[in-house]
Structure 1
Amino acid sequence: MNLLVMCLLSLAIGTIGGLGAWLFRLLIGVLHNLFFLGEWSLSYDANAHTAANPWGAGIILVPVIGALMVAWLVKTFAPEAKGHGVPEVIDAIHYKRGIIRPIVAVIKSLASAICIGSGGSVGREGPIIQIGSAFGATLGEIINVPARQQVTLVAAGAAAGIAATFNAPLGGVVFAIELLLISINVRTLLPVALATITATYIGRALLGVYPAFNIEPLQVNQFELNSPGMLLLLIPFGVVMGLASVAFIKGIYWTEDQFEKMPGGDLVRHASGMLVAGILFYIMWRSTGRYYLEGIGYASIMDVLTRELTNPAFLLLLCVLKLFVTFLTLGSGGSGGVFSPALFMGATLGSAFAHFANQMLPGVEIDPVTFALAGMAAGVGASTGAMITAAVMLQEMTDDNNVMMPIIVTTIVACTVRKLLCPASIYTLKLLRRGRIVPEGLQAALDDARHVEDVMEKNYQIVAEHAAIGPYAGVTIQAHEGQVVRVFHPFGTGEIQSSASPDKGETFVRLGPKTPLVEAMREMQQAEASCAVVFSHADSDRVDDIAGVITWRELGVYLTRWSELL
């Protein structure tokens, strides 16, 4: 399909992304007001604290009611809607040819809105990413685009969703580049960029033009000129954020494992987890007059950024409790994103670190807001592996260029620490637990830039169909009347049957010499084939058209060589 049609499809995806972000926020607001205030209202400001509820101690049951609804929806209609969403999108791109069921968008919207509205400690970004991706995938299936373009439309939908949610168009594009796109070129970037611009424009028209956190800009001289010591302190703070990110990643999946061991079904597990969360909400409300821990947590983040919360001990307590409630929400079966909890973790830890440092190092003039913003970027970047996305998005979310230097220093250190202690990110670890291996960084783009003709083995022999094959023979192709019948190779488990033997199924794939390497690996894995025969014409099965053979051995050698260069 030509680039013009792809761009038109991207405009449609961006439109849905912007409208979807707006409708999703409205749905959260309606449900939040019903659950916590007992009133029907569209008015909801996530950056402001929730007013006192009319339920008293009954507020403990609000998250439980929401949990029962979420667990039933997810189990009945779309298990893919469980969790934080982005791993499912990555899985669809790398292992399902960009196919996402349309029902996922509907159920993810409802389940996540109910989870957040009833107090679940998750973010809005994961659901809208999955919603946008599902629409992109559905549109691609309707138009019947090739697999490579289908993946681009999925990435465009995800980027549009995140751009509209955070009012961060560049952040959306970079997110797609860092985590979703298999190859990066004009044909992939242009559709993604158009989708994010369209979604951001519609989002601003419906949600306002202000940044997500509308705060006073930092004073650049504070940390760049007058206080160079502050920059040096960002290094140990980056170590702290790296350790916190490791705890965040492993804590979610450890909690998930514990709930899986519990007796009872999904409804019982999720309800029991949210019952504990409800008790914490009530204790916090009785103790402080505010919930602090429920929902996406932006109100508490604003308290940090506007310097209303200054007690370092209380900030640390909030960080620990927020992470614990997030573990309960996602580990027990909730639905929602991880960006917001990571932002909360970074803001509270950053401010607490700065206040402690001011007490220990009088005269250094350490700004808590600077460290809070740096911690927010480091929390997102280190836990998700999207380091550049985190830096760009924090700049867009605050509309302040002065945050870039502390953000970069802290995020680099935090990502390094996290990578050393926990090689998988919060997204890829979920896939690894399923046995799914996802390439990182430029690995995918380099593989996609190579074709099977660059890797295939040309040393093979062709024999008659019933010819005997010795135990030490190399790659051997059996033929009948000029057509490939079977393939043997010493690196497999034995005989590899072709479509000419339908009783045993097709267990090798046909490829053309210009087939991208990533697509070749994907086809071989989906067909559960241990080899592929490369024909000069991809639709041929003639012996005369054979150009070479690929086995997983050749692929393994090739990937090992590239990994040494990356």
Structure 2
Amino acid sequence: MLSLLAIGCGVLSSLTMTGMIELLYWLSSAVLPSHSENYEDLSPNFRFILPVAACLVLTVFWYLVPERGLKVGIPYVVERLNYHQGNLRWLNAFVQFFGAFIGLFGGLSIGKEGPAVHIGATFGSRLAQRFRLSYIGVDTLVACGVAGAIAAAFQTPLAGVLFAYEVIFHEYRLRLVLPVLLSAIVATAISQWILGRIEIFELQAVFMPLYDLEMLAAYAVLSIGVILAAGLFYQVQRILWSVAYIPVWARFLAVGVLTGVVGLFYPQVLGSGYDTLDLLLTGEVLAVSLFGLILAKVLLTSMSIGLGIPGGMIGPTFVIGGLLGAQIAFWFDTPIPISEELGLFVLLGMAAMMGTVFQAPLTAIVAMVEMTHTSVAIPPAIFVIVLSCITVRLVFKQDSIFVERMHSLGMVSEWSPVQRLLRQHDVRSVATKVDIFPELLHFERVRDLASGMIDYVAIEKGGRYFVVSVTSLVEAVQTLDFGPQPWLIEDQNRIAMSVLQAVNSTQLHALDSSLSLAELLSWLHQNEQHQVLVNFSQQEELWLVTSQQLDQMLLKG
């Protein structure tokens, strides 16, 4: 079942991602000259009007949507996983899709991959809710949706899986990885079938000596550039998070006007910017300063996201890193031919910027290998990515941009080891199944219970559940050796036992099976209870969870 649902997640995520790409390509090609990202050939007036108009449309759209649907993006996905059993709403996914589409069509400096992650996660969540899967099943299908979206966007299945675990869950869940891999490879196949093979650029196999001092200096300078760009990218957003009280129309209009003004001087920053990297790699000379272009891209993207535009950051970080790498390649005269040197440093910059901003080093390295179909750049990539990630985390105390956003909202992005252990186990792995019986039990049923392996039974009376131990039932029957008992009742010409009169019972609450073990433990503590029933209504089953069972599991874990 989980594997079939994982395939479904991969199909839906890939169709959403490729559908967004194709629709954007079709509409943008109808407006822009030559190709779908050619904002440079637009007239200056149109370069200013287009982003302003897009932000005005976004503002109207935002006011038409109910407030509960306005939370979008990867931080919202993490919030729903941590605080709402992974229950993602369709309305938010709808707002994310159309909001990002409007912004992308208007040339705003945002990415389409982040919105696709949200939508893919929603597909996984809704499938899990539809089939009433346990909390582990919800997590797995959400990861399937995330991995499928990233895999379809870049045709990098393994990077998609690592992104789900490094960025969304902050841990590697190897025992649950097979369905996620299945989703990612299905999404990649559909993406290649619809879009063809995505070739960003090819890097030829060259000899790159790590012990060469000039090369090491170039790698170190590239790391410093990535660290500074990632720091600025985060600090601008952190400042803007504090002005969320400003009305939406003012924030969105500010983004549109600023994008339009910058687009007058740097049209290359409009849209995704991948075409600018393509020009550099084919030997074209840009008429603007690379350093100015990098600064403009960092500021525009961080301001757009920080002021609430529903876009992603993955694509822009790739472009910012690639431009940084190109700038470093022009500064240093390394032993590598200039064409191969430029491709190498663009690639290293892309991977390092993405890995540093999201604190996802393995995702960045694997994505680099899968996009270029070669492992030649792995040693320098590890050097640059590790140096920049460690410096940002240890020296500047800066975590993933999504983690920082969660902290700014007063929420946790990951749980303690105890909470994590509880969330990774299914309720039935530590619970005891109890059979449900009526209040009157014929003696034949009581004898069957005594000879069985059941420890507890639940007596249903008036919609309430009372739990009694089988041992107490057997002891009550033995008292008949001393004479008739008051709990003997004639029922349908047969002698029966009134269980609730015969033995001591405990009335317990029956909670829904969608709750995780962590939430059950929290409920027990808050209500000062030691036992609770979990109702699997679809299977018509009751399971008994005790604080003692949870303690034993935690001690073992």
Structure 2 partner of 1:424? 399
* Equivalent of residue 267 in structure 1, options 221, 225, 249: 249
Could you tell me how far 1:452 is from its partner in structure 2?
10
User: Residues 183 and 390 (structure 1 numbering): CA distance in 2 closer, same or farther, change over 3 Å?
Assistant: closer
Q: Name structure 2 gaps, 5 residues minimum.
A: 431-465, 469-507, 536-543
Tell me the secondary structure at the aligned position of residue 402 of structure 1.
coil
1:13 aligns with 2:13: no
Could you tell me how far 1:228 is from its partner in structure 2?
5.8
User: Residues 528 and 293 (structure 1 numbering): CA distance in 2 closer, same or farther, change over 3 Å?
Assistant: farther
1:166 aligns with 2:154: yes
Structure 2 partner of 1:301? 277
Could you tell me how far 1:369 is from its partner in structure 2?
2.9
Structure 1 partner of 2:227? 242
Hey, what's the Cα distance between the residues in 2 that align with 1:194 and 1:73? 36
Structure 2 partner of 1:487? none
**Kept after mapping to 2: 8 A contact 1:531/1:550:** no
1:372 aligns with 2:346: yes
* Equivalent of residue 260 in structure 2, options 272, 278, 295: 278
Alignment of 1:37-186 (within 5 A): 45-46=36-37, 49-50=38-39, 52-53=41-42, 56-77=44-65, 85-181=73-169, 185=173
Hey, what's the Cα distance between the residues in 2 that align with 1:218 and 1:444? 47
**Kept after mapping to 2: 8 A contact 1:165/1:203:** yes
User: Residues 144 and 536 (structure 1 numbering): CA distance in 2 closer, same or farther, change over 3 Å?
Assistant: closer
Hey, what's the Cα distance between the residues in 2 that align with 1:207 and 1:451? 40
Structure 2 partner of 1:471? none
Hey, what's the Cα distance between the residues in 1 that align with 2:336 and 2:97? 47
User: Residues 524 and 203 (structure 1 numbering): CA distance in 2 closer, same or farther, change over 3 Å?
Assistant: same
Amino acid across the alignment from 2:190 = I
Structure 1 partner of 2:491? none
**Kept after mapping to 2: 8 A contact 1:80/1:88:** no
Alignment of 1:480-499 (within 5 A): none
* Equivalent of residue 206 in structure 1, options 175, 179, 194: 194
Tell me the secondary structure at the aligned position of residue 438 of structure 1.
coil
Could you tell me how far 1:189 is from its partner in structure 2?
1.2
Tell me the secondary structure at the aligned position of residue 221 of structure 1.
coil
**Kept after mapping to 1: 8 A contact 2:165/2:173:** no
Identity of aligned residues (%): 24
**Kept after mapping to 2: 8 A contact 1:81/1:111:** no
* Equivalent of residue 222 in structure 1, options 202, 208, 212: 208
Amino acid across the alignment from 1:64 = V
User: Residues 282 and 145 (structure 1 numbering): CA distance in 2 closer, same or farther, change over 3 Å?
Assistant: same
**Kept after mapping to 1: 8 A contact 2:110/2:271:** yes
Structure 2 partner of 1:389? 363
Could you tell me how far 1:156 is from its partner in structure 2?
0.5
1:25 aligns with 2:21: yes
**Kept after mapping to 2: 8 A contact 1:22/1:203:** yes
Hey, what's the Cα distance between the residues in 2 that align with 1:99 and 1:80? 13
TM-score (norm 1): 0.73
How many residues are aligned here? 474
**Largest Rg, 1 or 2:** 2
* Equivalent of residue 519 in structure 1, options 513, 516, 520: 516
Amino acid across the alignment from 1:386 = A
Could you tell me how far 1:275 is from its partner in structure 2?
0.8
Alignment of 1:446-457 (within 5 A): 448=423
Hey, what's the Cα distance between the residues in 2 that align with 1:111 and 1:34? 20
Q: What is the CA deviation profile of residues 497-539 of structure 1, one whole-angstrom value per residue up to 9, with x for unaligned ones?
A: xxxxxxxxxxx99899xx99x93434566x6964764438657
**Kept after mapping to 2: 8 A contact 1:124/1:337:** yes
Tell me the secondary structure at the aligned position of residue 104 of structure 2.
helix
User: Residues 523 and 432 (structure 1 numbering): CA distance in 2 closer, same or farther, change over 3 Å?
Assistant: farther
Could you tell me how far 1:441 is from its partner in structure 2?
11
Structure 1 partner of 2:237? 252
Could you tell me how far 1:122 is from its partner in structure 2?
0.8
Structure 2 partner of 1:439? 414
Could you tell me how far 1:377 is from its partner in structure 2?
0.8
Query: RMSD over aligned Cα, in angstroms?
Result: 4.0
Hey, what's the Cα distance between the residues in 1 that align with 2:409 and 2:314? 22
Structure 2 partner of 1:347? 322
Amino acid across the alignment from 1:387 = P
Hey, what's the Cα distance between the residues in 1 that align with 2:111 and 2:69? 14
Amino acid across the alignment from 2:123 = F
Q: What is the CA deviation profile of residues 286-345 of structure 1, one whole-angstrom value per residue up to 9, with x for unaligned ones?
A: xxxxx210111111122333343589x911111100111112322232121111121122
Q: What is the CA deviation profile of residues 372-413 of structure 1, one whole-angstrom value per residue up to 9, with x for unaligned ones?
A: 211111111111111111111122222232121121111111
User: Residues 152 and 72 (structure 1 numbering): CA distance in 2 closer, same or farther, change over 3 Å?
Assistant: farther
Tell me the secondary structure at the aligned position of residue 401 of structure 1.
coil
Hey, what's the Cα distance between the residues in 2 that align with 1:195 and 1:402? 28
Could you tell me how far 1:111 is from its partner in structure 2?
1.1
Q: What is the CA deviation profile of residues 224-268 of structure 1, one whole-angstrom value per residue up to 9, with x for unaligned ones?
A: 58x46414542343233123212212212323434x354xx3123
Q: What is the CA deviation profile of residues 138-161 of structure 1, one whole-angstrom value per residue up to 9, with x for unaligned ones?
A: 222222222221121111011101
**Kept after mapping to 1: 8 A contact 2:218/2:328:** no
User: Residues 253 and 145 (structure 1 numbering): CA distance in 2 closer, same or farther, change over 3 Å?
Assistant: same
User: Residues 72 and 403 (structure 1 numbering): CA distance in 2 closer, same or farther, change over 3 Å?
Assistant: farther
Hey, what's the Cα distance between the residues in 2 that align with 1:277 and 1:127? 20
Tell me the secondary structure at the aligned position of residue 292 of structure 1.
helix
Could you tell me how far 1:414 is from its partner in structure 2?
0.8
User: Residues 145 and 536 (structure 1 numbering): CA distance in 2 closer, same or farther, change over 3 Å?
Assistant: closer
Amino acid across the alignment from 1:298 = Y
Could you tell me how far 1:106 is from its partner in structure 2?
2.3
* Equivalent of residue 334 in structure 1, options 309, 325, 329: 309
TM-score (norm 2): 0.74
Alignment of 1:466-477 (within 5 A): none
